[in-house]
Structure 1
Amino acid sequence: MKKLFTALFALLLPVLASAQFSLSGKITDQKTGESLPGASVTIQNLAISTISNASGKYTFKNLKNGSYTVVVSYLGYQTAQQTTEVSANSTLDFSLVHSTTVTEEVTVSATRASANSPTAFTNLSKKDIDKNNSGRGFEYLLEQTPSTVVTSNAGAGVGYTSIRIRGSDPTRINVTLNGIPMNDAEDQGVYFVDLPDLASSVDNIQIQRGVGTSTNGAGAFGASINIQTTTRRDSAYTEYNGSAGSYGTLKNTINLGTGLLGGHFSFDGRLSDMHSDGYIDRSASTLRSYFLSGAYYGKTSVLRLNVFGGYEQTHQAWDGVPEDSVKFGNRKYNELGYINATGQNYPNQTDNYNQNYYQLLYNQQISPLLSFSGALHYTHGYGYYEEYVNDDALSNYGVTPVTIGGTTISSTDLVRRLWLNNDFYGATYNFNYKPSTKLDLTLGGAYNEYKGRHYNNIEWTQQSTDIQPDYEYSRNTAKKTDFNLFTRAEYHIGDVLLYGDIQYRHIGYSFLGFDENLNNVQQQVSLDFFNPKAGITYQVTDNSNVYASIAVGNHEPNRSDYVNSSPSSRPKAENLKDLELGYRVAQSNFTAGINGFYMLYKNQLVLTGALDDVGEAIRTNIADSYRAGIELNGKVRIAQQLSWAATATLSTNKVKNFNQVLFDEGGNPVNFNYAKTDIAYSPNFVGSSTISYQPCHNTEIAFISKYVSQQYLDNTSSTDRDLPRYFVNDVRLDYNFSIKSVKNIGIGLLINNVFSTNYQSDGATYPDVEGGKVANYNYWFAQAPINFLATLSLKF
């Protein structure tokens, strides 16, 4: 061990010896001379960044003797750039000029936390996104952020992928795209598979944990993800990004842009095509998407039209792999779509969906103190999943049994398609008033409508019946309106920032449910929510602050919670009180944060562990439950070429007085009561690590690790229904260079699960009672052993 440390020290000694100078300075407003805290400062040729502290100061340490290009950007100001020679400790100040054109960050700023907001958040820049955009699902971009667990149904990262933050599933994570809600209005989930390769058109992302700031769409019960797509690029460009790797994975993307034409216009476009066979048996994906954007830039306004969409066809792998099959070594077995007697599988056991988005975004600088941002949007989605059903009763489809040759046919194998055709449209807006550096006031809101048409067809029956192909056996419609209004203020008093945020939200929902006699009838629900938030931040030093906040969130049940209920058994809306307390420090070579949270739920709809026949989780109200924990994150530049970033979350997530109802062979209910157990899918520890080494300019080697502790598939804390802990490691290699005719050539290699760890990142359970004992039927989403993706990017 001593020899190992000696060798490591000898290896790093030249690096440490050569990194001996600092570069510091102050960012101010050229007109007023006031300091600008939170400005982004980047050394362009080293690709390292920091932000100015509360006094507008920044520092870079451990720089070698040489020439450096420093770029400073700040919302509402023109970007500044200077080149300086560093041969000793140096100072470089910047005086920024107010921008003569409106910046598009205004579009999303109303739903985002600012640099010193009393909220736990993480920002991802375009550089962060591009570095990890290898072709896997969008959620994998967020995997190294605190409290995050990502999984893939197909096991190889392509197709249906999902995310949990602080144990909360996607129905509790508010997602906005340019400030416009992405969550499905009815089931409240987000399906990034419907917008494959969205990451290639994204400029930046902010992830807020907890209730966070007021935003449009569904309430954030675990986190919110705010995404901003392509923004202004002044120079014309053409880019190709491709990847190929294990399990037949192939991605091709072309990006084109005109740059700024005539000082006012720009046009951008993208086409993407992706395919993967998947790791799980019969889990292939065929994915396509496009993104078109045109903008007009005036002196005080920006008008942008985005038109984009995607198509996905994925083979059904949403039930996972039976636990017994995994333990016997067959980690790929998919039992969906098997045909009785023959043992063959149905080849078209697929999910098929198209989704198209239209967004008209407008920003207006009304005066130097007041700005406006608004959007009109429309989304149309349509598609179906097709499946083979074994020996099902005709009466389940409203079909009268037929008699042929003296034999009555009352059941048959059949193929059915379950369709969804929906429209989502509305408007969002916000006004921002900033009379001084002390006060920042925002007033915003939105009105959105959703109309969904659900209908189901029989395509084929094995036995002869009196129905025609494409026979429609059921249809129902749903309508949902969502109105919200919020105001938020940040006020500085010396070293103290006071934060207040109030939101009112009204929901109206019409759906097909059950009446008291269990007959299907159209139901109506009207809900009103009041969501106040308050917080305080104290600037301890120029580089650090401490903050505290309390927020109230309310959240409506989703479609499946409602349609299986009657007015007397209708699920209750959920209520959350979220307390956050944290400390942040940001220096040029070291950033860190520690955040404590206590989330107290009333009537939380918790996962029972089971899924319905389309893979949707089944939930039930629990009177009392909570999550409490500590999140840590940090990044240190050990040397100019070596850095280490890490996150860790230690938490306890408990359900009080949980009652589980199972059924025996005769269909009789059997109750099991638990005083205090863990909330399903809520690991007590989640950690990540990224060690990055740059042996030479434009080259990076990263060793990426993820640890997730034991999770339970339901709320009983039963070790018979759990997901074992796992520790997975990846390696990422990147090299960039240029030649005369190509601005940049990027070559990369991502080796996932480099040690071929056998692990499951998600699952489901369907226990019952057999012979007086509980029998467990668990399903796991097994993840692929060592696999790779090679990437190539060309920029012209």
Structure 2
Amino acid sequence: MKNFLFLGAALLALPCSSAWAQGPVSGTVTDARTGLVLPGATVLLDGAASAATDAAGTFSIPAVPAGAHELRVTFLGYEPLVQPVRGQVAAQRLASPLRPGGVLTGEALVTASRANDRTATAYTNVSKEQLQARNFGQDLPYLLDQTPSVVVTSDAGAGVGYTDIRIRGTSNTGINMTINGVPLNDAESHGSFLINLPDLASSINSLQVQRGVGTSQNGGAAFGASINISTLENRREAYGETQNSVGSFGTWKNNVSFGTGLLNGHFTVDGRLSRIKSDGYMNRAASDLKSYYFAAGYQQKSTLLKFITFSGREKTYQAWNGVPEPALTGDRTLAQQFADNYALSDADAERVLREGRRYSFYTYDNQTDNYQQNHYQLHLTQGLGADWNLGAALHLTRGFGYYENYQAAQALTDYGLADVIIGVDTITATNLINRKWLDNYFYGGTFALNYQPRANDAFQATVGGAWNQFVNDHYGEVIWAQYASNGPIRQRYYFNDARKTDYHAYARATWQVAPRLGVYADAQVRHIAYNLDGLEEGLVDVRTRARYTFFNPKAGVTFSPTAGQQLYASYAVGQREPVRADFTDRPAGQPLPRAERLDDIEVGYRFAQPEATVLGPHTALRLEANYFYMRYRNQLVATGQLDAVGTPLRTNVGRSYRTGLELTGSASANDKVSLSSTLTLSRNRVLDYRQILFDSNFAPVVSAETRPSAISYSPAVVSAHTLEGQPLKGLRVALLYKTVSRQYLDNSASEDRRLRPYQVLDLRLRYTIRPAWVKEIELGLLVNNVLNREYVANGYTYGNLDAAGQQLNYNFYYPQATRNFLASVGMKF
């Protein structure tokens, strides 16, 4: 730590080059047709990424050296804009209108699935620079914490390790995620486990969050939102970068990135190596994460070809069981109830109260999750004349790994082992260590044919589709047993294999009927075949045959009353198949899960005034209001319980809905100060909730009555606010404030099974200098939870009736870290 502080002080003392004597260049990037600002556009000075537009569409380059330069502005789905700039002492301000189009950006697949101002949907663009500003080593959900309707949580408590994101109350199993147009969600669980791709944010060049059903995507339907990630950036100039962070709970992040720039006018090579380690806020919640990214590209005239491979390997101590309620409250009666339920020794029962909110149930030293995921993608973008282009990709994802688990007093017969007879004693149970394995392949191809006329962009269209297959083996091994019985080495006690085939096609078009009026239509047909054979843990037969065919139409209309204003409305249908756990883990006696359907209505208003003279010169203002009504049929909602590997158990509810209002606004002045805020007010209800209780033998007892109730994990109020200023040249100071209202752990809306509201304030400092011997040095400091709040962001519950018919509840929580910090040093060469 002393060395780190010494290095920071030395860097602050470095002399700056004469470039500081030059004047700044700033501007606003807008849509040339509507006048709406474009947040997240990339601004390059002489081919090097120099800035990105903020929420108000503005950018600023602090100093431009003397002489002639080229300013290039790019934004996905728009033609690049090149502007000459000459360095001078006086400040310069530019207007940068972009025209829709953008043939051969290298991102034809990404463009085809992204929303824009013509698609009448709610979305947020996040640029590479915006991600880098928050990227101190925490997982991607934490970098999106300030976007509308988002709630994030971390099992280990500090944002490193297993993290989760919910948007509009929908967990990541209902959030469609793609990387370069290729599905990332696990085909069986629908989850996107970003822990398998640590430091992915360092390779992202742009990201879009769509809320609601959104546009047709590759992979499963979006049931609350979609996150569309692009890493396809082609940087024309050679570069080298490194970022190193250190912080609380033994957290370290180190990475190095490089790129050759454009070689011989045709070739590019980019790469990254990363490592992130953390002990975690929770006891015994350490993470050791490694990843790489490599891309090689070729371009010539109307052809772009790019091969990308990236991989992540994680080893984490299991923290997914959370903390029992008495560890937070200190209630000795509940602590004894917990100890009795889990057959804890007196010493372990006392440890619950002693460790408190950082308690970990596990003590076995190798109670770890070990998994590796390798991704391979081959992308082709081919121009087909002046108005057409084709984007296509082949992909393969290879995943394999296990989690190791110590378990006490396990029945030998559950593991295919014979009882052990020693003398006159018959031993029927043993302590043992098992490993539960996943071994899978996901492969397929995607395409998008885009019509983007250059002469007249009033009508644009895309036809696309994909074929994907997922093959997954699930099996368990006993690697040690106190009484091994007749078991061989690595006794395999269950095995099942799954095969899922998914193919779909879609067509989408936008038509500018009049200069101010546009219409949008989108239709998708998707077919899924899922086969599962074999035995699950406990020797349960999980044979499943499921077939689904979905038709998902979408339509919208936009109207621009004046430049910089837009009204929009859309209707979209999303249908989604159940996940694996819905089939294999449903309670005894419950029917097979049914597919879900979502009818989504979005109505909104956007206002953007890049030069708001009311607030003063060079001041940008942006406002947006979006109303949503999401009506579900057979929605699969979390019951509050988890299965053996921490996956939430779900059940169909006949009728439910989410409705609310999302308000966002931002204002900035001369790049000296900016304020952005988002507020979501929502109502989330199950209309015909029927409570299911369990008796003392955990057999279901179904309540006869139905009633309206709140949907679990769905806060009524979520807000995020960022105030950022530049008090000194090169120094940026930001305050980030997040609020989340009450959430329920199940669908009963019971006050004794809920998460309390919480508010979190973070502080971020970034200081950039440009000495003569290196392009840029940035020193950063992120202080999380400045006010030192003890809050809980997630949890689960289960319960049963005791012999007297009294309901017993077991609540578990995921406490988040108290005040902590991450400090970083980044260098660009």
* TM-score, with structure 2 as normaliser: 0.86
Which residue is equivalent to 1:418?
436
Q: Does structure 2 retain, via aligned residues, the 8 Å contact 1:554–1:576? A: yes
State the shift of 1:79 in Å. 3.5
What is the identity percentage for the equivalent residue pairs of Structure 1 and Structure 2?
43
Distance change (3 Å), C-alpha of 1:397 and 1:340: farther
Which of 620, 625, 630 is the matching residue for 2:651?
620
Q: Does structure 2 retain, via aligned residues, the 8 Å contact 1:242–1:253? A: yes
Which residue is equivalent to 2:224?
222
Which residue is equivalent to 1:166?
168
The 2-side partners of 1:351 and 1:505 are apart by: 34
* 1:473 equivalenced with 2:497 (yes/no): no
Matches within 5 A, 1:525-564: 525-564=546-585
State the shift of 1:617 in Å. 0.4
Which of 126, 130, 137 is the matching residue for 1:124?
126
Matches within 5 A, 1:235-246: 235-246=237-248
Which of 821, 824, 827 is the matching residue for 1:788?
821
Which residue is equivalent to 2:664?
633
Matches within 5 A, 1:439-454: 439-454=459-474
The 1-side partners of 2:630 and 2:760 are apart by: 29
* Cα-to-partner distance string for 1:541-583 (whole Å, 9 max, x where unaligned): 1101000000011000000111246999211100010000000
Which residue is equivalent to 2:805?
772
State the shift of 1:466 in Å. 2.0
Q: Does structure 2 retain, via aligned residues, the 8 Å contact 1:337–1:346? A: no
Distance change (3 Å), C-alpha of 1:250 and 1:35: closer
Which residue is equivalent to 1:457?
477
State the shift of 1:697 in Å. 2.2
* 1:360 equivalenced with 2:378 (yes/no): yes
What is the DSSP-based 3-state SS (H/G/I as helix, E as strand, rest coil) of the residue aligned with 1:396?
Answer: helix
State the shift of 1:95 in Å. 9.5
Matches within 5 A, 1:203-282: 203-282=205-284
Matches within 5 A, 1:267-346: 267-328=269-330, 345-346=363-364
Distance change (3 Å), C-alpha of 1:407 and 1:254: same
The 1-side partners of 2:589 and 2:546 are apart by: 10
Distance change (3 Å), C-alpha of 1:648 and 1:36: closer
Q: Does structure 1 retain, via aligned residues, the 8 Å contact 2:658–2:685? A: yes
Q: Does structure 1 retain, via aligned residues, the 8 Å contact 2:463–2:508? A: yes
| 149-158 or 401-410, which deviates more | 401-410
State the shift of 1:469 in Å. 2.7
State the shift of 1:324 in Å. 1.1
Which of 646, 651, 654 is the matching residue for 2:685?
654
Distance change (3 Å), C-alpha of 1:438 and 1:453: same
The 2-side partners of 1:128 and 1:446 are apart by: 31
Structure 1 residue identity aligned to 2:603: L
The 2-side partners of 1:113 and 1:421 are apart by: 35
Which residue is equivalent to 1:13?
none
What is the DSSP-based 3-state SS (H/G/I as helix, E as strand, rest coil) of the residue aligned with 2:770?
Answer: strand
Structure 2 residue identity aligned to 1:785: T
Q: Does structure 2 retain, via aligned residues, the 8 Å contact 1:512–1:563? A: no
Q: Does structure 1 retain, via aligned residues, the 8 Å contact 2:207–2:229? A: yes
Q: Does structure 2 retain, via aligned residues, the 8 Å contact 1:505–1:530? A: yes
Q: Does structure 2 retain, via aligned residues, the 8 Å contact 1:113–1:119? A: yes
Matches within 5 A, 1:706-725: 706-725=738-757
* 1:506 equivalenced with 2:518 (yes/no): no
State the shift of 1:591 in Å. 1.0
Which residue is equivalent to 2:79?
77
What is the DSSP-based 3-state SS (H/G/I as helix, E as strand, rest coil) of the residue aligned with 2:293?
Answer: strand
Which residue is equivalent to 1:17?
none
Q: Does structure 1 retain, via aligned residues, the 8 Å contact 2:304–2:381? A: yes
The 1-side partners of 2:507 and 2:100 are apart by: 29
Q: Does structure 1 retain, via aligned residues, the 8 Å contact 2:494–2:535? A: no
Q: Does structure 2 retain, via aligned residues, the 8 Å contact 1:710–1:724? A: yes
Structure 1 residue identity aligned to 2:823: A
The 1-side partners of 2:769 and 2:331 are apart by: 44
The 2-side partners of 1:355 and 1:88 are apart by: 48
Give the superposed CA RMSD: 3.3
State the shift of 1:587 in Å. 2.2
* Cα-to-partner distance string for 1:623-668 (whole Å, 9 max, x where unaligned): 0000000001111115641111110000000011211222222445
| 472-481 or 34-43, which deviates more | 34-43
What is the DSSP-based 3-state SS (H/G/I as helix, E as strand, rest coil) of the residue aligned with 2:255?
Answer: strand
Distance change (3 Å), C-alpha of 1:23 and 1:685: closer
Which residue is equivalent to 2:770?
738
Distance change (3 Å), C-alpha of 1:163 and 1:676: same
The 2-side partners of 1:148 and 1:376 are apart by: 32
The 2-side partners of 1:619 and 1:25 are apart by: 45
Which residue is equivalent to 2:614?
none
* TM-score, with structure 1 as normaliser: 0.90
Q: Does structure 1 retain, via aligned residues, the 8 Å contact 2:80–2:98? A: no
Distance change (3 Å), C-alpha of 1:364 and 1:749: same
* 1:583 equivalenced with 2:605 (yes/no): yes
Matches within 5 A, 1:664-743: 664-672=695-703, 673-743=705-775
Gaps of 5+ in 1: 1-20, 29-33, 53-57
The 1-side partners of 2:605 and 2:419 are apart by: 69
State the shift of 1:60 in Å. 9.4
The 2-side partners of 1:97 and 1:471 are apart by: 60
Which residue is equivalent to 1:371?
389
The 2-side partners of 1:395 and 1:41 are apart by: 61
Which residue is equivalent to 2:157?
155
Distance change (3 Å), C-alpha of 1:169 and 1:384: same
Which residue is equivalent to 2:591?
569
Distance change (3 Å), C-alpha of 1:666 and 1:185: closer
The 2-side partners of 1:300 and 1:556 are apart by: 39
The 1-side partners of 2:78 and 2:753 are apart by: 53
The 2-side partners of 1:152 and 1:130 are apart by: 20
Structure 2 residue identity aligned to 1:677: S
Gaps of 5+ in 2: 1-24, 349-361, 611-619
* Cα-to-partner distance string for 1:531-550 (whole Å, 9 max, x where unaligned): 00000000121101000000
The 2-side partners of 1:359 and 1:386 are apart by: 31
State the shift of 1:77 in Å. 3.5
| 661-670 or 262-271, which deviates more | 661-670
Distance change (3 Å), C-alpha of 1:86 and 1:543: farther
What is the DSSP-based 3-state SS (H/G/I as helix, E as strand, rest coil) of the residue aligned with 1:776?
Answer: strand
State the shift of 1:92 in Å. 5.9
The 2-side partners of 1:229 and 1:427 are apart by: 18
Structure 2 residue identity aligned to 1:72: V
State the shift of 1:522 in Å. 3.0
Q: Does structure 2 retain, via aligned residues, the 8 Å contact 1:628–1:652? A: yes
State the shift of 1:400 in Å. 1.5
State the shift of 1:72 in Å. 3.5
The 2-side partners of 1:683 and 1:25 are apart by: 35
* Cα-to-partner distance string for 1:182-231 (whole Å, 9 max, x where unaligned): 00000110000001000111101000000000010011000000000141
Distance change (3 Å), C-alpha of 1:658 and 1:24: closer
What is the DSSP-based 3-state SS (H/G/I as helix, E as strand, rest coil) of the residue aligned with 2:109?
Answer: helix
Which residue is equivalent to 1:4?
none
Distance change (3 Å), C-alpha of 1:763 and 1:564: closer
State the shift of 1:277 in Å. 0.3
Structure 2 residue identity aligned to 1:429: F
Q: Does structure 1 retain, via aligned residues, the 8 Å contact 2:118–2:519? A: no
Distance change (3 Å), C-alpha of 1:342 and 1:715: closer
What is the DSSP-based 3-state SS (H/G/I as helix, E as strand, rest coil) of the residue aligned with 1:200?
Answer: helix
* 1:488 equivalenced with 2:490 (yes/no): no
Which residue is equivalent to 1:197?
199
* Cα-to-partner distance string for 1:363-406 (whole Å, 9 max, x where unaligned): 01111100000000000000001101110111111212121122
Q: Does structure 2 retain, via aligned residues, the 8 Å contact 1:584–1:593? A: yes
The 2-side partners of 1:91 and 1:139 are apart by: 34
The 2-side partners of 1:599 and 1:82 are apart by: 47
